[in-house]
Amino acid sequence: MGKDAVAQTQFLQRKDLQTLLDTLIAAGYHCLGPQVRDGAIVYDVLADVSHLPVAVHDQQAPGKYHLHYSQGLRSFAWANGPLALKPLLFSAREVLWSAERDDEGKIQFVQVKPAVQKTAVIGVRSCDLAAMRIQDQVFLEQQYKDENYQARREALFTVAVNCSHPADTCFCASTGDGPTAKSGYDLLLTELDDGFLVAAGSEVGKQIFIQLPLEQASDQQHFIAGEQALHAEQTQTRKLPQAGLAEKLLANLDHPRWQEVAERCLSCGNCTMVCPTCFCHKETEQPQLDGRSTEHLREWDSCFTQGHSYIHGTVIRDDTEKRYRQWLSHKLATWLQQFGNSGCVGCGRCISWCPAAIDLTEEANAIAGDEGD
Ligand code: SF4
Ligand code: SF4
């Protein structure tokens, strides 16, 4: 955290966390926060901070995600669950437009706009802010803006929380996207035992910040926050190769490791579904039985499906080796050519949620020829 941010950072007692939530609700925000559902931490409607995952910790490893409980008071002592911000901004399934033939046989097209409400998400991690920045590039900064994404993005308020307990699968320190948030949030919390350091990162964030019962943060609290951040960074063991990764991957498209990993990969697409930066989708028509109307549907797709590379009667990537290679080399290499940065923010979700326990960092290190710098 820079000097200015430290100067503007204040302290919120734990007992006043509900005031933050109430202030957001009073400002008209539909509030979502992390909660335990079906054995995982996901975002759900939050009206009471007692519903946060208090004293819940996650244990993650390749192909594994478990929650366990302690006696602590902390609400954010876990890394991340399967849901990033992506489904809140880029809907997994939505109708973009509909068409109807009138009595004279003319076809009328109608754009279907989503019902969007001001939404505040509490507990966003730095890797997911970085992923949102990447999705902004995809949906807002190309030739055409995605109006649905834009409407949801403009209605979003983020309350980020610095990561103090990275999972074994996290490697955001290696990609430069965490574990502390540098920008892109409206409010930023750092959880300490007795409460939270709070900083505002935007004008709308300041409007909420000034309404909170904040106290001056002590040097000791800043020191503990700094130590916590350092510890979170140093406990991450997974790394991507640091030098020339993109070039090395693209120079090794015939590396035998692609075939080895393809023998384990199920082509299930889980990694792409949980990935906060993947944006592939397909569009299909949903004609109604009356023969007069249809809806144009957009759904998430995955580069692991056959249909995704079907072009003019041919499936271009007709086996798992080609699909896995496409996924990893796009994420870590050709994404740079396309957007000027990597497509991976080191959240580790693709590792935890892969049923075959395939680890992207292990594969990248094996193929790019080093074990991480
Ligand atoms: S590729 Fe894996 S680690 Fe990287 S952003 Fe996607 S899910 Fe996270
Ligand atoms: S790498 Fe894992 S999650 Fe991704 S498609 Fe293969 S088996 Fe599924």
Residues 20 and 162 in one domain: yes
| 15 belongs to a structural domain | yes
Residues contacting residue 241 through CB under 8 Å, at least 6 positions apart = 248, 364, 365, 368, 369, 370, 372, 373
Does the structure show a pLDDT above 70 at 37? yes
- Ligand nearest the Cα of residue 270 is 2
Q: What pTM does this model have?
A: 0.94
Q: Which two tokens stand for residue 69?
A: 């409980």
Q: Which two tokens stand for residue 2?
A: 């820079």
Assign 215 a pLDDT band (cuts: 50, 70, 90).
Answer: very high
Query: Which of 250, 275, 239, 237 is CA-nearest to residue 367?
Result: 250
Does the structure show a pLDDT above 70 at 360? yes
- Residue list, ligand 1 pocket, CB within 6 Å: 274-277, 331, 344-350, 360
| 287 belongs to a structural domain | no
Residues 89 and 192 in one domain: yes
| 109 belongs to a structural domain | no
- Ligand nearest the Cα of residue 325 is 2
Residues 262 and 310 in one domain: yes
When divided into structural domains, the chain yields a total of: 2
Residues 268 and 364 in one domain: yes
| 162 belongs to a structural domain | yes
Peptide bond into 179 cis (omega under 30): yes
> How confident is the model over 32-55, as a mean pLDDT?
98
Does the structure show a pLDDT above 60 at 372? no
Whose Cα sits closest to atom 1 in ligand 2?
265
Residues 307 and 163 in one domain: no
Assign 290 a pLDDT band (cuts: 50, 70, 90).
Answer: confident
Residues 82 and 227 in one domain: yes
Assign 373 a pLDDT band (cuts: 50, 70, 90).
Answer: very low
What is the spatial distance between Cα 190 and Cα 162, in angstroms, rounded to a whole number?
A: 5
Tokens 């602590």: give the residue.
72
Whose Cα sits closest to atom 6 in ligand 1?
275
| 132 belongs to a structural domain | yes
> How confident is the model over 309-336, as a mean pLDDT?
95
Residues 134 and 219 in one domain: yes
Of the chain, the percentage scoring pLDDT greater than 70 comes to: 97
Atom of ligand 1 nearest to the CA of 332: 1
CB-based contact 266:335 (threshold 8 Å): no
| 316 belongs to a structural domain | yes
Mean pLDDT of the chain: 95
Residues 323 and 203 in one domain: no
> How confident is the model over 324-332, as a mean pLDDT?
97
DSSP letters for 302-349 = -TTSSGGGEETTEESS-SHHHHHHHHHHIIIIIHHHHHSS-S-----H
Does the structure show a pLDDT above 80 at 3? no
CB-based contact 79:167 (threshold 8 Å): yes
Residues 198 and 267 in one domain: no
Does the structure show a pLDDT above 70 at 2? no
Of the chain, the percentage scoring pLDDT greater than 90 comes to: 94
| 239 belongs to a structural domain | no
Residues 164 and 275 in one domain: no
Pairing of strands 64-69, 93-101: unpaired
Phi, psi of 33 (to 5 degrees): -150, 160
Centre of ligand 1 from the C-alpha of residue 141, in Å: 21
pLDDT digits (tens, 9 = 90+) for 15-31: 999 999 999 999 999 99
Whose Cα sits closest to atom 8 in ligand 1?
347
Long-range Cβ pairs for the range 218-222 (8 Å, 24+): 218/11, 221/11, 221/192, 221/197, 222/6, 222/9, 222/197
Note down the domain range covering 38.
Answer: 3-99+115-234
For ligand 2, say whether the CB of 266 is within 6 Å of any of its atoms. yes
| 216 belongs to a structural domain | yes
Centre of ligand 1 from the C-alpha of residue 221, in Å: 32
The better pLDDT of the pair 372, 148 is held by 148
Ligand 2 pocket test: which of 169, 323, 353, 358 has the largest number of ligand atoms within 8 Å of its C-beta?
A: 358
Centre of ligand 2 from the C-alpha of residue 318, in Å: 16
Residues 360 and 324 in one domain: yes
Stated length of the chain: 373
Assign 242 a pLDDT band (cuts: 50, 70, 90).
Answer: confident
pLDDT digits (tens, 9 = 90+) for 126-138: 999 999 999 999 9
